[in-house]
Structure 1
Amino acid sequence: MARSVADNQFLENEAIALLTRLDMVKPFALNTPMVRAAAISAEAQNAINELINKVSLEVKQKVNGFISWLKSPTSQQATAAEAQTRYSLLKLRFNNLLDQLDIFADVLSQRGEHSTGVWLAGLDVMAMDALALPGGYYHPPPLVCFLDRGHGAAIRRARTRLPGGDSNPVGVIQVPRERLVGSGIASSLIHEVGHQGSDLLNLIDSVRGAINLKVKQGQDVLAWQLLSRWISEILSDFWAMAHIGIGATTGLIGVVGLPSYFVFRIGTDGPHPFPWIRVKISIAFGKALYPHPQWQYLEKQWESFYPTKGLEPGKLQIINSLEKVLPEFANLLINHKPASLKGKLLKDIFPYKERQPARLQELYQRWRHSPQLIESAAPTLVFAVLGQAKSDRSITAGEESRVLQHMLTRWALLRAQHYCITGKRNMVEAVQQGELHYSKKQLQLI
Structure 2
Amino acid sequence: MISERALRLQLARQIAHWRAAVATINDPSNFAAAEAWAAVEGDLDLALRRRLQETVNRLRAEADGLASQLSTAQSREQLLAVRKRLIAFRQRYSQTETILDFYGDAINTRTNPKLRAILHALDLIAGHSMDAALRPLGRPSPPVLTYIDKGMGASILRAGVRLWDGGTLSPAAAIKITRHNLYRPTSLIHEAGHQVENLLGWANEFAALLRHELASFAPVAVAEAWAATATEIVADIFAFAHCGYAAVAALHDVVAADEATVLRYLPGDPHPIPYIRVLLNAAYCRWAFGVGPWDDLAEAWTETYPLTQAHPATGDFLQRSVDLLPRLAELSLARPLRAFGGRSIVQLLDPARINPNALLAWARQLGPALYISPHWANTEPIRLLALSGYRMATEPEKAKEIANEYEAWMLRVGGLPARAA
TM-score normalised according to structure 2 size: 0.89
Q: Percent identity?
A: 21
**Where does the alignment leave 5 or more consecutive residues of structure 2 unmatched?**
none
What is the SS of the residue equivalent to 2:146? Answer: strand
- Of residues 181, 188, 206 in structure 2, which corresponds to 1:179? 181
Q: Distance in 2 between matches of 1:373 and 1:147?
A: 25
What is the SS of the residue equivalent to 1:159? Answer: coil
1:123 aligned onto 2:122:
yes
- After superposition, what is the alpha-carbon deviation per residue over 1:106-152, rounded to whole angstroms, capped at 9, x for unaligned? 10121113522332222222221222223144222112122222211
The answer for the alignment partner of 2:286 in structure 1 is 287
Q: 1:222 to 1:88 in 2, by over 3 A?
A: closer
What is the SS of the residue equivalent to 1:337? Answer: coil
The answer for the alignment partner of 1:432 in structure 2 is none
Q: Distance in 1 between matches of 2:249 and 2:100?
A: 36
Q: 1:44 to 1:3 in 2, by over 3 A?
A: farther
Q: Distance in 2 between matches of 1:367 and 1:37?
A: 37
Q: Does structure 2 retain, via aligned residues, the 8 Å contact 1:38–1:120?
A: no
Q: Does structure 2 retain, via aligned residues, the 8 Å contact 1:38–1:119?
A: no
TM-score normalised according to structure 1 size: 0.85
The answer for the alignment partner of 1:251 in structure 2 is 250
Correspondences of 1:31-430 after superposition (within 5 Å): 32-33=32-33, 39-72=39-72, 75-76=74-75, 78-133=77-132, 134-165=135-166, 166-180=168-182, 182-183=183-184, 185-186=185-186, 188-217=187-216, 219-308=218-307, 314-371=313-370, 374-377=373-376, 378-393=380-395, 396-413=398-415
Query: Which protein has greater RCO, CA pairs closer than 8 Å, 6+ apart?
Result: 1
Letter of the structure 1 residue corresponding to residue 392 of structure 2: K
1:310 is displaced (CA, Å) by: 6.0
Q: Does structure 1 retain, via aligned residues, the 8 Å contact 2:130–2:192?
A: yes
- Pick which of 290-299 and 367-376 moved more: 367-376
Q: Distance in 2 between matches of 1:21 and 1:312?
A: 53
Letter of the structure 1 residue corresponding to residue 265 of structure 2: I
- After superposition, what is the alpha-carbon deviation per residue over 1:183-228, rounded to whole angstroms, capped at 9, x for unaligned? 2x32x22111111111111011101111111254463434322211
Q: Distance in 1 between matches of 2:339 and 2:213?
A: 22
- Pick which of 167-176 and 5-14 moved more: 5-14
Q: 1:58 to 1:311 in 2, by over 3 A?
A: closer
1:352 is displaced (CA, Å) by: 2.0
Q: Does structure 2 retain, via aligned residues, the 8 Å contact 1:157–1:168?
A: yes
What is the SS of the residue equivalent to 2:415? Answer: helix
What is the SS of the residue equivalent to 2:63? Answer: helix
Q: Distance in 2 between matches of 1:344 and 1:27?
A: 47
Q: Distance in 2 between matches of 1:406 and 1:29?
A: 30
What is the SS of the residue equivalent to 1:233? Answer: helix
Q: Distance in 2 between matches of 1:101 and 1:384?
A: 35
What is the SS of the residue equivalent to 1:382? Answer: helix
Q: Does structure 1 retain, via aligned residues, the 8 Å contact 2:63–2:89?
A: yes
Q: Does structure 1 retain, via aligned residues, the 8 Å contact 2:31–2:100?
A: no
Q: Distance in 2 between matches of 1:397 and 1:86?
A: 58
1:40 is displaced (CA, Å) by: 2.5
Larger helix share, 1 or 2: 2
Q: Distance in 2 between matches of 1:34 and 1:390?
A: 37
Q: 1:202 to 1:171 in 2, by over 3 A?
A: same
Q: 1:370 to 1:394 in 2, by over 3 A?
A: farther
Aligned residues: CA RMSD: 2.7
Q: Does structure 2 retain, via aligned residues, the 8 Å contact 1:144–1:171?
A: yes
Q: Distance in 1 between matches of 2:309 and 2:163?
A: 46
Q: Does structure 2 retain, via aligned residues, the 8 Å contact 1:355–1:384?
A: yes
Q: 1:162 to 1:369 in 2, by over 3 A?
A: closer
1:259 is displaced (CA, Å) by: 1.6
What is the SS of the residue equivalent to 1:169? Answer: coil
1:27 is displaced (CA, Å) by: 4.4
What is the SS of the residue equivalent to 1:115? Answer: helix
